[in-house]
Structure 1
Amino acid sequence: MTGTTGCPGNQRSLSKALGGAALVVLLSAGLAACSYETPSPQPVAAKVSTQTQAATAPAETGRGSALGPVVSDSFGNADYYTTLPGDTPAIVAGSFRISEAKLAEFNGLQPGAPLTPGTKLRLIPAPGPITGAKGTAVVDANGIPTSYVVEPDDTLGGITYRFGLTEEQLAEANKVPYAYEKGNTYFIRTGKHLQLQKNLVDSRSGTGTSVNNSFGQAIFYTTVDGDSLDSLGYKFRCTTDQLLQYNPSLTTDRPIPAGTKVRLMPGELKIDGAQGSFTADTEGIPLTYTTAPGDTERQIEARFKAPDLEWANRPLTGTDRVWYDFSDLPSGELAPGQTISLALNKPIHKGPS
């Protein structure tokens, strides 16, 4: 299934999650760099940071703005609003950037009907299936959707609209770089359990030092107090399973000590389609790779978070995009025994063989 673009109703978001689109590849062995999407395990209901606060007017002042209590999800999206005296559908709809018609639809109101003070209004669609999102959702005690099971014919646009999320927020909640289809890799798949919220993380987390490769991809991170598998997963878009596979010393039942150097790519861990050996510099940044039988460009890129081998291996002459040889060009399978570059700043350029 291909996802559609997000719906206008998502403009009510009070805050946007940080962008971080990195290259995604679904590996047949279930192993990939943290920026590559793999199936999520069966989730438990997420712990949601639900905030009740006064709404902030987008531009207007005085009673042109809705100033009552707001219940927000873990991303700061306003999901519910409780009316005050003087509130009107126009004021509420304008404050949260939805149409009056949508506000009426979400709450079963007659268009233009006055609002009773103390009424808790939904700012996202009412519970239950809609076109593009017909599956079952779990909600917490505050009515915030926390997880969802994908049904046939669901779409990315339908899911994000139903739960008031952006595509980026959905990706972050599931610790993947993006949620749309790319390169025949589909995030939205029938039966898949999606997380709709982030778990709480320590405010000190995520401030450690990263080591990036020449493609700008973070491949190592040194932890600080407060870092956890969740905080690393959200920041670097690594699932918990991936982090545990790349770092055997980490466990789910113990905190991560400050100063721990965490690997964010398979690296030493061989994966299907990337079974060869490699060299690295003193910081552990991969430099060269020697191909093994069955290796493919896509899997080598995934193993080392090197999203464009082409630019590190340009031919000196001719019109071919790379100098190295393929044993099966349609599948991207490389001939074994070739030493290729994994670093843009240390390319290997050769003439055609």
Structure 2
Amino acid sequence: MSGETIIDSFGNADYYITVADDALALVAEAYGFSEAKLAGFNGLQPGAVLAPGTKLRLMPEGPGIGASGAAVVDTAGIPTSYTIEHDDTLAGITYRFNVTADQLAEANKVPFVQEQGNVYFVREGRTIQLQKNPVDSRSGTGQAVENSWGTTVFYTTVDGDSFDSLGYQFRVGTAEILQYNPSLVETEPIPAGTKLRMTAADLPVEGARGTYTADANGIPLTYTTVAGDTEVQVAARFGVTMLSDANGPTSGGGGVWYQYTHVPSGELAAGQTISVSLDQPINMPGLDS
């Protein structure tokens, strides 16, 4: 097979253009499909003869179970955006548009698209991006300073960095970068050598409005709760995966030492100083410093 493969922004093969002597079964095998599935994608019967120059779809055509709405496509037929319909699912969307969940998260500059922490990516009426924009090959090579969970807290830019390149790499939207770094202007290039904050630590947010302490490098260590704070929002503000990993039970079995005012919502009692660092845990036997 020597025909042209049309790929998306992630390198996923979406179409194949046939040449002389190509056969449906051989094309299907080359791209990891059964002949029946590839035939179904293209409205053909298994065994159909392929004329040279036939543009074969390597992904489902049109609406389907779990992705029933209309998509926007570019001139090459690559899906670029999609508005979520009622009863759509993550599995349906990734299957129909030939992208992985991680690629979908990258395109939308979010940490994850799975349902986590009561944050739902797949929501009816939401328009999502299915591709990413081109970025400079020099981007993303600056110095990153991470917290103990591996989340980048600070990043020093290099030539070629842009809001898109930073957003795709660190899964943070342009609006958030501008909030965290008020000296930046969206319509102007980001100068090389700029030290950017990549989390909301300095920005009190709904559900995490308290104060925090940090080490000499500015990495948050502890957080003191105020009324209305929730576990999910505190974790999100400081780029923490699981607060319980740094806050063990007072004694005995599982759970955490800190108290709630409303357990189902994760609302925390005010006035508690909670660890937001795996390096300085609280009530973790053998690990507390």
Into which bin does the TM-score normalised by the smaller protein fall? Answer: over 0.9
Partner of 1:286: 220
Are positions 1:74 and 2:9 aligned together?
A: yes
Q: Which amino acid is 1:111 matched to? A: P
Which amino acid is the alignment partner of residue 248 of structure 1? Answer: P
- Deviation string 1:58-116 (CA, Å, 9 cap, x unpaired) is xxxxxxxx221111111111111111111111111111111211221222222202211
Partner of 1:175: 109
- The match for 1:86 is 21
Would you say 1:137 and 2:71 are equivalent positions?
yes
For residues 231 and 64 of structure 2, the distance between their equivalents in structure 1, rounded to whole angstroms, comes to 40
- Match in the other structure for 1:160: 94
1:213 is aligned to 147
Q: 2:59 aligns with which of 118, 124, 141?
A: 124
Match of residue 62 from structure 1: none
SS at match of 1:154: coil
Using the TM superposition, give the Cα deviation of residue 347 of structure 1 relative to its aligned residue in structure 2, in angstroms.
Answer: 2.1
Percent of aligned pairs with the same residue? 61
Q: What does residue 36 of structure 2 align with?
A: 101
**Residue 195 in structure 1 maps to residue 115 in structure 2:** no
> Which stretch has the larger CA shift, 290-299 or 270-279?
290-299
How far off its partner does 1:316 sit?
Answer: 5.2
* Greater RCO structure (CA 8 Å; 6+ sep): 1
TM-score for both structures, normalised by structure 1: 0.76
- Report the Cα distance in structure 2 between the residues aligned to 1:229 and 1:122, rounded to whole angstroms: 33
Q: Would you say the 8 A contact 2:117–2:232 is kept in 1?
A: no
Deviations along 1:102-148, one digit per CA (max 9) or x if unpaired, are: 2212222222022111222111222x322221211111111111111
Alpha-carbon offset, residue 190 of structure 1: 0.9
In structure 1, the partner of 2:201 is: 267
- Counterpart AA for 1:76: G
User: What is the match of residue 231 of structure 2?
Assistant: 297
Structure 1, unaligned runs of 5 or more: 1-65
Distance in 2 separating the partners of 1:299 and 1:185: 10
How many residues get paired?
285
How far apart, in 2, do the equivalents of 1:181 and 1:91 lie?
A: 38
Contact 2:275/2:282, CA 8 A, preserved across alignment? yes
CA contact (8 A) 2:246 2:284 kept: no
Residue matched to 1:54: none
Partners of 1:223 and 1:283 lie apart in 2 by 17
1:342 equivalent in structure 2: 276
The reply on whether 1:252 has 2:186 as its aligned counterpart is: yes
Does structure 2 conserve the Cα–Cα contact (< 8 Å) formed by 1:106 and 1:124? yes
Q: Do the aligned residues in 2 keep the contact of 1:222 with 1:262 (CA within 8 Å)?
A: yes
Q: Compute the displacement of 1:315 (Å).
A: 4.2
Structure 1 residues 105, 153: closer, same or farther in 2, change over 3 A?
same
SS in 1 for 2:244: helix
Q: Does the C-alpha gap of structure 1 residues 113 and 334 become closer, same or farther in structure 2, counting only changes over 3 Å?
A: closer
TM score, norm. by length of structure 2:
0.92
> What is the CA–CA distance in structure 2 between the aligned matches of 1:118 and 1:325, rounded to whole Å?
66
Report the AA paired with residue 247 of structure 1.
N
